[in-house]
Chains A and B, each alone.
Chain A
């Protein structure tokens, strides 16, 4: 219970109107000020917050919970909008990338369950300029924003950030340092390493995309190094590193790396490694086991970690709403990162090693 103040009628909690009277402003000004809205001068916001604190005004979480259920039952004619901003050099191929539509779909479903629109905006050479985006968001009164990026190199998105409650999905290399929601790549790499060891593989090789590592803060390599530090030195293999989409032109080098290091199992967040190795001339009999840190759900033969990309999208919407609730606009002084875990799925591309060797001994029927 808030402390009682002489200005509130007996037995009644303090209302926004009471704060308005004490501060000598209109109720709507109080509402905006307590929501930290940039349309109210900073000094006025601070004064109204002080008046509210002193009088013992508190927002009401019960009404908030009530609104949650009310909105679930009664649709709103003009639902609020969260902007889902994609920063990309080339739009089309990136939006078709395996995991991105899943993140977007998860975010959209979570938003829809609260009767919130999620609207896609693309910034970059083929889309909006940052200043144009800023203008659109401001004129449409959109204050909530989820940012994700497919840029290859570090960059900065310049918006008037003090206006927005915003989080990022992955995109660690893109400024500003907003709070981040990400699939747990670190966990995926550790789980995959551990499971392959259990399945009997000892010489585990990492195939590493330098661009992806930038995007995810070197999570795959870090986790792999930790996992590797807990196994004998003889089993430590150098990773195969590549830039961009080089994998489709460096198949022979990939095969040479497998042979030279006697790799028993390959781990990567890139799929189609089996095809690349075959293109490089590796016969099926020599094919290592293949495990993905981000196995496609729709391919039942691919062993690896199934990432909960949709859940990451859902969590991103939740966090933006939580920022809205606390009126926390702008770039946080301290960044935090939320990781959404995936789970391992056994499949034919990484069978039990003993079983695989037994199978190889069975004579092939011509």
Chain B
């Protein structure tokens, strides 16, 4: 008997969510008044509307996209379709703050937007930055537009943050672990990426491989680059375990160049793994030529057309995963942040390049 168990189906009790009739009872008005008030119909006086909104909060009523779909289903013959549910993709850069140069933010957005379109959601990109939205104006805008789903798109530490009433939205973050709310997040698997980079350089014949990453990046991602290095080094004899170089917070290029070159020389490195895109330039400034003096592999290789070897993170897929997850949360119609938010890590792929040739 191959199938060992046939599982009895104990159906889980679904709690009855509050309806506008519960709100009406609470506020002492007819439910049609509640309906009009919550949709901001001008026939309802401001004071009444505020009272009804308060009653809705008390009983925990939230309008549900499912019910919007139902009314649309019933009125299909009579009127135009209801709009698609909407997702806001938030970034804390802006065109004034070099948003256009942020290749990774564009890739996240492209992936997210394609996924949203594929499953029938509409997505809008909003800037949370000076001269654009702050938390207050953003909240007003989202409420007015009926946007219930938010993607926090890789907020960069040191720029604008965000404080919203998170109980009102479904939220998924890309990176941004330093930021409230503590919600589900999707990001590149820097542990796997570091391991992959290390393994490929080893396979290419490199013996003394060093890891250089920004301390800010490590603090923001639970030290997962360092973790990848340590587990790879655990399989090496102690004399080949080279301590990682952590660029200090706010480190400028000349300082970083000095640090990385001294470190490479002191430990006689034959290869460097780094998550900064300009690592080859930093080495060159200090007189180390790649690949003549040592090989280089970038751990966040965005431009795959050049001669740089490294690991390509799947940023579009990260954006797509974030939207798929957000849609799962929005579909239930219950907003807010899960009590135990999970983290999803997306792996990267190796790309060979002239900066890390096969070693003789």
Residue numbers of A with Cβ under 8 A of B are: 1, 11-13, 58-66, 68-70, 72-73, 75, 91, 95, 108-109, 112-113, 115, 117-122, 127-128, 132, 181, 184, 186, 190, 218, 221-223, 225-226, 229, 308, 311, 315, 318, 321-322, 325-326, 334-343
> Known: A119-B7, A121-B3, A334-B314. Is A61-B84 also a contact (CB below 8 A)?
yes
Measured between beta carbons, the chain B residues less than 8 angstroms from A127 are 2, 4
Are B119 and A1 in touch, CB under 8 angstroms? no
Question: Which of A112, A186, A322 is B324 in contact with, Cβ under 8 Å?
Answer: A322
User: Is there a chain A Cβ closer than 8 Å to B47's Cβ?
Assistant: no
Residue numbers of B with Cβ under 8 A of A are: 2-7, 9-12, 14, 64-70, 72-73, 76, 79-85, 115, 117-121, 186, 189, 191, 222-223, 226-228, 230-231, 234, 314, 317, 321, 324-325, 327-328, 330-333, 340-349
Are A338 and B344 in touch, CB under 8 angstroms? yes
Are B189 and A336 in touch, CB under 8 angstroms? yes
Q: How far is the CA of A190 from the CA of B191 in the complex (A)?
A: 15
Are A226 and B223 in touch, CB under 8 angstroms? yes
- B118: nearest residue on chain A (CB-CB)? A326
Q: How far is the CB of A85 from chain B (nearest CB, A)?
A: 11
Q: How far is the CA of A12 from the CA of B6 in the complex (A)?
A: 46
Provide a sorted-by-A list of 24 A–B residue pairs whose CB atoms are within 8 angstroms.
A1-B84, A58-B120, A59-B119, A65-B330, A68-B331, A69-B64, A69-B66, A70-B66, A73-B14, A75-B11, A109-B12, A112-B9, A112-B11, A121-B2, A122-B2, A128-B2, A128-B3, A222-B231, A229-B230, A308-B340, A318-B328, A334-B346, A336-B186, A341-B341
Measured between beta carbons, the chain B residues less than 8 angstroms from A1 are 81, 83-84
- B70: nearest residue on chain A (CB-CB)? A66
Other contacts beyond A64-B331, A223-B227, A338-B343: 6, CB < 8 A? A1-B81, A60-B69, A66-B70, A115-B11, A336-B186, A340-B342
Are A325 and B343 in touch, CB under 8 angstroms? no
Measured between beta carbons, the chain A residues less than 8 angstroms from B5 are 120
Are B4 and A120 in touch, CB under 8 angstroms? yes
Q: How far is the CB of A324 from chain B (nearest CB, A)?
A: 11
- A13: nearest residue on chain B (CB-CB)? B81
> Known: A322-B327, A326-B119, A338-B343. Is A63-B6 also a contact (CB below 8 A)?
no
Measured between beta carbons, the chain B residues less than 8 angstroms from A121 are 2-3
Q: How far is the CA of A11 from the CA of B82 in the complex (A)?
A: 11
Q: How far is the CA of A187 from the CA of B145 in the complex (A)?
A: 38
- B10: nearest residue on chain A (CB-CB)? A112
Question: Which of B64, B321, B327, B349 is A325 in contact with, Cβ under 8 Å?
Answer: B327
